[in-house]
Amino acid sequence: MSAHRWRIGTRGSALALWQAHFVQRRLAEADPSCVAEVEIIKTSGDLIQDRALLEVGGKGLFVKEIQTALLEGAVDLAVHSLKDYPAENPQGLLLACVPERQDRRDALVMPRGKSANELPADAVVATGSLRRHHQAKLLFPRWKIAGLRGNVDTRLKKLDAGQCNAILLASAGLRRLGYESRIARLFEPQEMVPAVGQGAIAIECRSNDKEAKAFLGRIEAKVARRETGAERHFLRELGGNCTTPLGITAVIEGERAELYAFLASIKGERHMKDHIAGPAVKAEELASTLLKRFWEQGAAELLEKE
């Protein structure tokens, strides 16, 4: 290519399109002469809305059709929520870039006009995430946790229609879509450990596309890459998948890194949680140490119960 022209593959949800257009803007900032077009690709995860993700294959359903389009040359780049991105890159593809990260925390969302103080002790709180489900039950044993599917707008409509007392969502998605005012409470990582890569965007390209890899290096955020690299290392070495009730987050501030991890069995009858801190440059090594502790505490048995 003499001039940079990029076709960006993405899901068609409002949040996915926000992320794709964010990448589109960042590419234009890196080179105002480049042309980036967004192409919507339907995924299995978008089409199957009547069953829990656990039943139909997990978050990988939100990426595979986009990855196929990328491999076949129908698009040049793929943009995903990093928390939906598989632990292992498919052959021929590369996680080429992680731009700056948004808030990684989980949020409690109340119906319009209500505050967290108005939530009954035995509230019905909905989430589509087993990770949030089990951690919420540990924090608030009297809550009744209900399932929830759909994009952010759909989930908010279900909440406002009275289908539940509150819902749990990622703060990043709410902020990106202009719903920050709906956040009634934020959970710090030591309370509710976020998902791998939560708040981060993954930009994927073909492994042999040297031009794309070089260009995407211009918009890489080093801290976000180091944080998510440590988180994904933990996920890969654990052998977890998109349905594992797992939380792992690396928080890097200056020269220091703090990692928080959570793992539960599918039914939540057993869980483990731990924390480690150390030099930011050793974030991946810290993740390995944390994982070693998990193995020593019996992580293999929890994974077997899946």
In a domain, 226, yes or no: no
Residue 89 is predicted with a pLDDT of: 79
Residues 94 and 33 in one domain: yes
Summary count for the chain: helices (H), strands (E): 11, 13
Residue 48 is predicted with a pLDDT of: 46
Residues 34 and 9 in one domain: yes
Residue 4 is predicted with a pLDDT of: 79
Per DSSP, which regions of 18-92 are E strands?
A: 35-40, 77-81
Structure tokens at 120: 């009954």
Q: How far apart are CA 17 and CA 151, in angstroms?
A: 12
Residue 1 is predicted with a pLDDT of: 42
Q: Which of 31, 46, 76, 84 is catalytic?
A: 84
Residues 9 and 87 in one domain: yes
Kindly compute the dihedral angle of the four CA atoms of residues 85, 91, 92, 95, in this order, to the nearest 10 degrees. 30
Residues 62 and 118 in one domain: no
Beta-bridge partner residues of 250 = 259
Residue whose tokens read 């998990």: 294
In a domain, 172, yes or no: yes
Residues 64 and 212 in one domain: yes
Percent of the chain having pLDDT more than 90?
A: 83
* Res 51 pLDDT > 60: no
- Which string of DSSP letters, residue by residue, matches 208-274? T-HHHHHHHGGG--HHHHHHHHHHHHHHHHHT--TTS-EEEEEEEETTEEEEEEEEE-TTSSSEEEE
In a domain, 232, yes or no: no
Structure tokens at 304: 């077997």
Report the CATH number that the domain containing residue 44 is assigned in CATH.
Answer: 3.40.190.10
Residues 204 and 70 in one domain: yes
Report the CATH number that the domain containing residue 262 is assigned in CATH.
Answer: 3.30.160.40
The answer to whether the beta carbons of residues 205 and 96 sit under 8 Å apart is yes
Q: How far apart are CA 99 and CA 225, in angstroms?
A: 8
pTM of the shown model = 0.90
**Residue 23 — left, alpha, or beta (φ > 0 → left; ψ -120 to 50 → alpha)?**
alpha
Residues 256 and 289 in one domain: yes
Question: How many domains does the chain fold into?
Answer: 3
In a domain, 225, yes or no: no
pLDDT grade for 42, boundaries at 50, 70 and 90: confident
Is residue 84 part of the annotated active site? The answer reads yes
Residues 152 and 94 in one domain: no
In a domain, 40, yes or no: yes
Q: Which residue range is the domain that position 258 belongs to?
A: 238-304
Residue 86 is predicted with a pLDDT of: 84
In a domain, 13, yes or no: yes
> Tens digit of pLDDT for each residue in 192-236?
999 999 999 999 999 999 999 999 999 999 999 999 999 999 999
Residues 92 and 114 in one domain: no
In a domain, 227, yes or no: no
pLDDT grade for 45, boundaries at 50, 70 and 90: low
Residues 93 and 137 in one domain: no
The answer to whether the beta carbons of residues 89 and 64 sit under 8 Å apart is no
pLDDT, average across residues 47-57 = 45
pLDDT, average across residues 23-43 = 93
Residue 64 is predicted with a pLDDT of: 84
Residues 125 and 153 in one domain: yes
Residues 131 and 150 in one domain: yes
Residue 243 is predicted with a pLDDT of: 77
- Which string of DSSP letters, residue by residue, matches 34-51? -EEEEEE---HHHH--SS
pLDDT, average across residues 167-173 = 97
